[in-house]
Amino acid sequence: MKWSNYFIPTLKETPIGTEAVSHQLLLRAGLVHMLTSGVYSYLPLGLRVLKRIEDIIREEMNAIGANELFLPCLHPIDLWKQTGRDEVLADVMIKFEDNRKRPMCLGPTHEEVITNLVKDFIQSYRQLPVVLYQIQTKFRDELRARFGIVRACEFIMKDAYSFDRDKKGLAKNYDLMYGAYKNVFQRCGLKTVILEADSGAMGGDVSHEFMVPASIGEDTVVSCSACGFQAGASEENAEGKPCPKCKKGNLTAQVAIELGHIFQLGTKYSQAQGAQFLDEDGKQKPIIMGCYGIGVSRVIAAIIEKHNDDKGIIWPRQVAPFDVEILPIQGSKEDKEIKDLTDRYYADLTAQGLEVLVDDREETAGRKFNDADLIGIPVRITIGKRNLAEGKVEIKDRETNEVILAEKGQVKKKVSEMTGSVCRIN
RNA sequence: CGGAGCGUAGCGCAGUUGGCUAGCGCACUUGUAUGGGGUACAAGAGGUCGUGAGUUCAAGUCUCACCGCUCCGACCA
């Protein structure tokens, strides 16, 4: 991909009214654009990151036997009345009437819709278990959107739902999800703290939250310096209490971003909506459900919060929008060798399955370097006269700042070593 | 929804006790030079001063209302 043919509107200055580093860098690196408070467009570079995270999630979901589908975001309120959640979630629902005066809402979550769907197809225990998921836009009329895409009114979520005949089956699927979630966040370059949580408005018994401690966030995690005990906490009781587990260490608090939340729902929805199956013993029973959410767009913010320096973003390789950036330093008179090498490296690396961005703009070297640091592509190849006079090309690792001066014929090999040859997931 | 702040060019800002043609930096256009860390010089283009009403000879500036954005709080699967 040529930069000159790609829409990457970088900003030199930090936009006003941005507190979170991730928010600032999302805007400066040209990943997102705000339409109104809590509502963001994803620009080409941001969309690439989003899709790579989605692909990681898809792999992990598919690996545990979950099937992807796509549910509507336009819901009749009548459906929500079946569970009474039209009242419970009234404050976050975006409601309106369609042209036939029918009360509608934009889906803030999808338990009711999926239960309605499964109800129409599942009659027998022989058809269970079923695990379904989607990656879709959710709408929540947040009283106060903040931290850019961390709390938005329109955001992208992966939500999965499991349907089992008994609690044992639910526990099994729950464990599989738990493991898959650990894999997803690890592959995204995030260290998560997993907490037992309150199931709140979702209902059910067992629930875990996947949190990433960061400098911003809306939740608090306390941890014990002595035994490593970790738990969620409210602001008031967070600091300075002795550890409830080992009684020795003191708890220290840190704010965190909630990225995932899984629930053993039980029969709350299946009972309310009449989603039953005929069990082996000839009795009608409500399907046992679980639900599992990941804030996909929020994952992007968390990754940036944890992977940046004063110059910009440092993408973990697995989620980077491009694998390699080639940065030719051209004068006004085009240097044929620089151009030829640029084309050759582009072709060679692309043939290896790498996504390559070429900064072919007629900009000064300094500007290209700064933009490269800002958008944070893991590997940068700089082709310029200075090193070329010695037959060398510079390869730089964005994360470690390590610089290799490679023979111009060895670039493909060196880059392959750095990226682990074909590092694309698909 | 309570508290606080902000709104002037794409971005970041200045604009005095109201005063005459609304400025600066970056970005943008054209030209010349430059070409390894936001290069230099020159010439340009770009504005309903958030919206509406009011006070006044005169409003970016004062008053009121509304809209929008941000932060703190409340809320949050």
- Domain A322-419 is found in CATH 3.40.50.800: yes
Query: What per-residue confidence (pLDDT) applies to A239?
Result: 59
pLDDT score recorded for residue A237: 53
- Exposure string for A38-70, b = 16+ CB within 10 A, e = fewer: bebebbebbebbbbbbbebbbebbeebebeeee
Cβ contacts of residue A415 below 8 Å, gap of 6+? A324, A345, A349, A354, A379, A381, A395
**Spatial contact of A177 and A49, defined as CB atoms under 8 Å apart:** no
What tokens does A405 get?
């001066």
Question: Are the beta carbons of A6 and A43 closer than 8 angstroms?
Answer: no
Is the shortest CB-to-strand distance from A199 to strand B under 7 Å?
yes
Question: Cβ of residue A389 near strand B, that is under 7 Å?
Answer: no
Sorted by where each begins, the domain ranges of chain A are 3-209+256-309, 322-419
Contacts of A214 by beta carbon, 8 Å cutoff, 6+ apart:
A255, A256, A257, A302, A305, A306
Q: Is the CB of A409 under 7 A from strand B?
A: no
- The 10s digit of each residue's pLDDT in A139-152 is 999 888 988 999 99
CB of A334 within 7 Å of some strand B atom: no
A71 pLDDT above the threshold of 60: yes
Positions 44-83 of A with beta carbon below 7 A from strand B are none
Integer distance in angstroms from CA A295 to C1' B71?
24
Please state whether strand B lies within 7 Å of residue A5 at its CB atom. no
What's the pLDDT score for residue A330?
80
Look up residue A287 and give its DSSP letter: P
| Mean pLDDT, range A68-89, rounded to an integer | 95
Q: Which residues pair with A406 in a beta bridge?
A: A393
What's the mean pLDDT in A184-196? 94
Task: With a cut of 80, say whether residue A315 has pLDDT above it.
Answer: yes
> In whole angstroms, what is the distance from residue A247 CA to residue A252 CA?
14
- Identical fold, A3-209+256-309 and A322-419: no
Helices (H), A160-316: 167-187, 268-273, 296-306
Nearest CA among A398, A396, A400 for reference residue A414: A396
**Mean of pLDDT values over A66-72:** 97
Average the pLDDT over A177-196 and give the result.
Answer: 95
The average pLDDT across A230-257 equals: 75
- What local confidence, expressed as pLDDT, does residue A426 receive? 39
pTM given for the model: 0.95
State yes or no: pLDDT of A425 exceeds 60. no
Please give the pLDDT value at position A137. 95
- The nucleotides of chain B lying under 7 Å from a protein CB are 1, 5, 11-13, 25-27, 34-39, 68-77
* Beta-ladder partners of A176: none
Nearest nt to the CA of A23 via C1' is B70
Whether the Cβ atoms of residue A329 and residue A361 lie closer than 8 Å to each other: no
Q: What is the pLDDT of residues A210-240, one digit of tens each?
A: 999 988 888 888 888 788 788 777 544 555 8
Which is higher by pLDDT, A251 or A279? A279
- Segment A384-408 shows an average pLDDT of 95
Tell which CATH classification among 3.40.50.300, 3.40.50.700, 3.30.930.10, 3.40.50.720 matches the domain A3-209+256-309.
3.30.930.10
Distance between CA atoms of residues A87 and A189, nearest Å? 38
